[in-house]
A and B are shown apart, each in its own frame.
Chain A
Amino acid sequence: METPIQQWLEANNLSGAVVPNCQPATFILPADHLLEVLTELHTQPAFFFDQLSCLTGIDNGPEANTLEVIYHLYSIPFNQSLAIKVIVPRENPVVPSVAHIWRTANWHEREAFDLLGIRFSNHPDLRRILMPADWEGHPLRKDYQEQTSYRGITVKYDREKLYE
């Protein structure tokens, strides 16, 4: 069964790939169409996704060499959920910010930037949020190697020596 959202995406040649085994239903969008589609989903009276429940960044690992951002949208009046996925390359991950559409995105995008190194263009205040400002690397990357020490504090412990 096709939902109005699917029909609308197809009518605009944006349907992309529907990701299998996803709950809620998830669509992949190219990064350059993201902003217009999300704006439309937010404002159109037929969809009216007035809440951004969650924004997740994922690292697919060095083999796949991609990062993903997933937007979990929820519409309070229609009680409908939808997820939109954007896949970007690992070398230059840039996704347009949606913080001006949903305020929720502001901190969530900072978190994705902090932990995964995804850059959100036009973000009002893109700083690290959970890690210290001068931390090196992005901890949620699959190939992350922690620094040996941070301002004189040992970060990396040798497990063997620790329990001697």
Chain B
Amino acid sequence: MRQTYHYHPANFDLSEPNKFEAASLRPEEMIINLGPQHPSTHGVLRLEVLSDGELVKDVVPHIGYLHRCFEKHAENLPYNQIIPFVDRMDYVAAMNSEHAFAMGVEKMLGLEGQLPKRIEYIRVLVAELNRIASHLIAIGTYGMDIGAMTPFFWVMRDREHILRLLEWTCGARLLYNYIWIGGLFYDTPIGFEERCQEFLNYFRPKVDELETLLVNNKIFIDRTANVGVLPLALAINGGITGPMLRASGLRFDLRRVDAYSVYPELDFDVPIGTGQMGQVGDCWDRTWVRLAEIRESIKIIEQCCVQLLNNHKRTRDFDPQALVPKKIRPKAQELYVRAENPKGELGFYFRADGKSDIPFRCKARGPSFVNLSILPEISRGVLIADLVAILGSIDIVLGEVDR
């Protein structure tokens, strides 16, 4: 039988309780509820805002609306079957998450450094393509959050090209299951590298256009410069990683620091925020760092294509699944592995008991989860409109926050 929902004050008892109680507020204070169904919360995030007029006195993020308990799933599945679940954590950058997960299990199996260079280059190529796609989403939706509609359509147009390239490799547009433990699902399709180069030739001027249209726009600068300044000491103490940490002025990139996969062989810079438009670590710096990282990813993809077309060519007998283990049973051990995702450090903690193909415990440390936890600290005392600007500049994906 169909039940209808009646709007009634008593129904508020059904919702998640607030942290602040209405009875204990001061006369000028008010609780404003933002989300969970609100476009600028980038998904199903609910913010309980304690406001004084237009000012934010405190913010309490309520998360968990998209919780699927990835970790419980992982405790019930063999390692190779966890990869699709890893995709669904950060669903706009699935390749990067798969790469981190596969690296971790390969480390446990002792396969580290044994994979053919061609596989490593393809992994980096697809991961960097996905990094561009993720940053495009971050910049485009951020523009939309603070009132610029056009850039969103422009970035979605360019992202579509990347999604088509990735779809061509494995058949899926967002959730790929392409990087396997010990190899890849398929080799790249014939002509893929050339198409990537074509895409880069198309895309390079578009990045400049995006910069002129949005990032260097006067209105955009006025809305973001000096807003939501994250000091470096607070960022490190709060475990902030990725573009957010770099925008606060620390040249720290796990691709350089840990030098995993073939990143040491590639030439790219690590851009940091310098406070060009305001202070170091403001919302504008965070957006600018993402834009600069798109340019670095273009450099990396270029080099990968050259390597894949010359030094590590496609051969008839190349089998990307040659090293994929038939039975994945690591020895008893504990391992923490981390990799640089578009949003920051994605870490996996594994414990294998050596007796089964299923991890005893698999914990995911999502960068969005940790980066979001700093929001109350940097948004006390700002205007409510700026709260949306700060939230957008953190670039969260709720699939990863809630896991």
Contacts and interface: CB of A to CB of B under 8 A. Distances in A.
Interface string A49-78: 011111010100000000000101000100
Contact of B336 (A53, A115, A139): A53
Interface residues of B, number: 42
Interface in A128-154: 128-133, 139-140, 151
Nearest to A54: B365
Contacts of B333: 21-23
B203 interface: no
A76 B249 CA distance: 14
Interface in B362-378: 363, 365, 369-370, 373-374, 377
B71 to A, nearest CB: 6
Contacts of B369: 107
B240 to A, nearest CB: 9
B365 to A, nearest CB: 4
Contacts of A26: 334
Contacts of A133: 16-17
Interface string B70-113: 01100100000000000000000000000000000001000000
Interface residues of A, number: 37
Interface string B379-403: 0000000000000000000000011
Nearest to A81: B336
B239 A151 contact: no
A15 interface: no
Interface in B226-253: 234, 236-239, 250, 252
B361 interface: yes
A79 B257 contact: yes
B335 interface: yes
A135 to B, nearest CB: 10
A17 to B, nearest CB: 13
B376 to A, nearest CB: 10
B251 to A, nearest CB: 11
Interface string B32-71: 0000000000000000000000000000000110010101
Interface string B313-343: 0000000000000000001111110100000
A50 B232 CA distance: 12
B236 A115 contact: no
Interface string B353-364: 000000011010
Contacts of A106: 373
Contacts of A76: 236, 250, 252
B123 interface: no
Interface stretch (B139-147, B278-286, B344-352): B344-352
B349 A56 contact: yes
A139 B374 contact: no
A156 interface: no
A90 to B, nearest CB: 15
A90 B76 CA distance: 22
A23 B335 contact: yes
B14 interface: yes
Given A53-B345, A103-B373, A58 B237 contact: no
Most chain A CB inside 10 Å of its own CB: which residue of B63, B250, B331, B336 = B336
A66 B217 CA distance: 57
Contacts of B237: 50, 102-104
B281 to A, nearest CB: 16
Contact of A104 (B107, B238, B351): B238
A89 interface: no
Contacts of B377: 103
A27 to B, nearest CB: 12
Given A53-B345, A56-B361, A83-B336, A104 B370 contact: yes
A54 B349 contact: yes
Given A23-B107, A58-B351, A130-B403, 12 more contacts: A22-B333, A23-B335, A24-B336, A56-B363, A70-B334, A72-B349, A76-B250, A76-B252, A103-B373, A104-B237, A104-B238, A133-B17
25 contacts: A21-B334, A23-B333, A23-B336, A50-B236, A51-B236, A54-B347, A54-B349, A54-B365, A72-B349, A76-B252, A81-B336, A83-B336, A103-B234, A103-B377, A104-B370, A107-B369, A115-B69, A115-B71, A128-B64, A129-B63, A129-B64, A130-B63, A130-B69, A132-B64, A140-B75
Interface of B: 14, 16-17, 19, 63-64, 67, 69, 71-72, 75, 107, 234, 236-239, 250, 252, 257, 331-336, 338, 345, 347, 349, 351, 360-361, 363, 365, 369-370, 373-374, 377, 402-403
Interface of A: 19, 21-24, 26, 50-54, 56, 58, 70, 72, 76, 79, 81, 83, 102-104, 106-108, 115, 125, 127-133, 139-140, 151
